[in-house]
Structure 1
């Protein structure tokens, strides 16, 4: 029980940190492409140093196939960040974060398309509930192109995150820290053509926020999550994951005065409940499979399990 309590504290702290990510992105003053490039750079330094100190590079478990899958997952996860950060700018952190939590449903659809996995009637019902919640949360009125654009970016981010999870959860025998390290390393050359170094040169205090995104939200946060996964059952991981959107919405209101309206608020519990039901149903069916299992030493998971969606 003491071990599980520690895991609960670790994952809660990780989700609280994740909820503050939007503020770091906005306050940096950089464009989404530049934010993600430097998140990858400083995140790689943090994850690389941690992995080196812990001796994870010895017997790393990578094969050419596993490395290729990790790199492909990295392509998806990096552009997932770009679209999510674009969504912050186009709408608000609160709206983007809630819409972003439709990821589990895209993962279900990907399974149906690529592995011909049958979608049970119960999951289809929850997909409908989530769609209703999404319509309510959007609160889009005719002519409200900004919110519509933000929702589109957030949905694109959710699809890309689901693709990354779909690919990387099939990697076994490799520590998740190393898979995440490969992903951020892939992100740097991938985003290099889109990064304007002249624009970021004059950021001033914005650099502190960019460094924080790498060291705190990609280094420390992932280390806390992976440590927690080894100690917690799937159900608790899935429930604690919703600390993230709760904190994000609270921070967005406290810092920027953004809040969702009454009708939008009615959609939040629908998305949260449907997401939780689909996640738990999937984990029960696989009896604690890759998306959120007790990991022990090694794990076949990448940047973050499907049960714990982070920015």
Structure 2
């Protein structure tokens, strides 16, 4: 029996804690990747996949979830969708880690700010959904924001748009899988699918430039070894939060991660923020405020929920 979704007017303190913890980990991830230099993006992504498989195997053993995993692996449609999701998340991880190591944390944060807007556009293009007036305005403002960033900053924000596109499509594919895949089993399939390519990449890195893991300070190796936990833990926290919080609140809390990344990029890593970049980000934030207002306006009342459940 599946549990009912949380009422739209009920906020679980535990759910809020799980959600804030999940997005907090995602928000501070750039710091972990910065500390992993001089390791390159290929090595970091590959170890993230390999250690992710190991960590997931441990979790499946502890939670006695191997039967759920095997059932999922035998579901051809679910396995195919999760394999596609694995490719999309590989693109997302690779670009995000590259952006962090190359000093583009702020542009990476922009990608996750844009992601909710891209999700709305994806609903129109793929699901044939109709936009409401505030959503149209938000999409229009976001398009202007991208134009401002391209013209004013002098380069196409490919990092931000690739992150938004890959993560938006990843969420769409995961939605298609639905409840057949719990967080641990789903991630196990995704990382297992990618692991042969990750191992091959590590061999190539070792034969060409040499692997960095184990050649630096002990804390560097410790962070590298923790990549699996850093990948799986926020996903599990997110799944726990989603079962306890209304969608409206999950939609709001998702901004915690890019806000933290933005703060890290601007104030800790001292990345450049000329006036035109502030203007572009400001327009994106206006679009997000409009989407948030629309989200609350569409929030069903308690009476409507009661009538729907009767």
- Report the TM-score when normalising by structure 2: 0.77
Question: Which among 189, 197, 205 is matched to residue 190 of structure 1?
Answer: 197
Contact kept, 8 Å, 1:56 with 1:175, in 2: the verdict is no
The aligned counterpart of 1:251 is 264
Q: C-alpha distance in 2, partners of 1:41/1:105?
A: 32
1:54 and 1:110, CA in 2 relative to 1: closer, same or farther beyond 3 A?
A: same
Contact kept, 8 Å, 1:47 with 1:181, in 2: the verdict is yes
SS at 1:200 equivalent: coil
Contact kept, 8 Å, 1:249 with 1:259, in 2: the verdict is no
The aligned counterpart of 1:232 is 245
Per-residue CA shift, 1:240-296, capped at 9, x if unaligned? 111112211222345322363444334435324534654786899898xxxxxxxxx
Q: CA deviation at 1:41?
A: 1.5
Q: CA deviation at 1:230?
A: 1.2
Contact kept, 8 Å, 2:84 with 2:173, in 1: the verdict is yes
1:23 has 2:31 as partner: yes
SS at 1:231 equivalent: coil
Q: Which structure 1 residue ranges, 5 or more long, are not aligned?
A: 143-147, 288-311
Q: C-alpha distance in 2, partners of 1:152/1:286?
A: 34
The aligned counterpart of 2:77 is 65
The aligned counterpart of 1:292 is none
Q: C-alpha distance in 2, partners of 1:31/1:59?
A: 35
Q: C-alpha distance in 2, partners of 1:117/1:2?
A: 27
Q: Which structure 2 residue ranges, 5 or more long, are not aligned?
A: 1-8, 301-310
SS at 1:204 equivalent: coil
Contact kept, 8 Å, 2:111 with 2:162, in 1: the verdict is no
- Report the TM-score when normalising by structure 1: 0.77
Q: C-alpha distance in 1, partners of 2:296/2:212?
A: 43
SS at 2:66 equivalent: coil
Per-residue CA shift, 1:198-253, capped at 9, x if unaligned? 2335642333232233212x122222222111111111111111111221122234
The aligned counterpart of 2:168 is 162
1:114 has 2:122 as partner: no
The aligned counterpart of 2:281 is 268
Question: Which among 67, 75, 99 is matched to residue 111 of structure 2?
Answer: 99
How many residue pairs end up in the alignment? 280
1:99 and 1:114, CA in 2 relative to 1: closer, same or farther beyond 3 A?
A: closer
Q: C-alpha distance in 2, partners of 1:240/1:107?
A: 16
Q: CA deviation at 1:66?
A: 0.6
The aligned counterpart of 2:212 is 200
Q: CA deviation at 1:38?
A: 0.8
* Higher deviation after alignment, 188-197 or 35-44: 188-197
1:11 has 2:15 as partner: no
SS at 1:188 equivalent: helix
1:124 and 1:251, CA in 2 relative to 1: closer, same or farther beyond 3 A?
A: same
Over the aligned positions, Cα root-mean-square deviation in angstroms equals 3.1
Q: Larger helix proportion, structure 1 or 2? A: 2
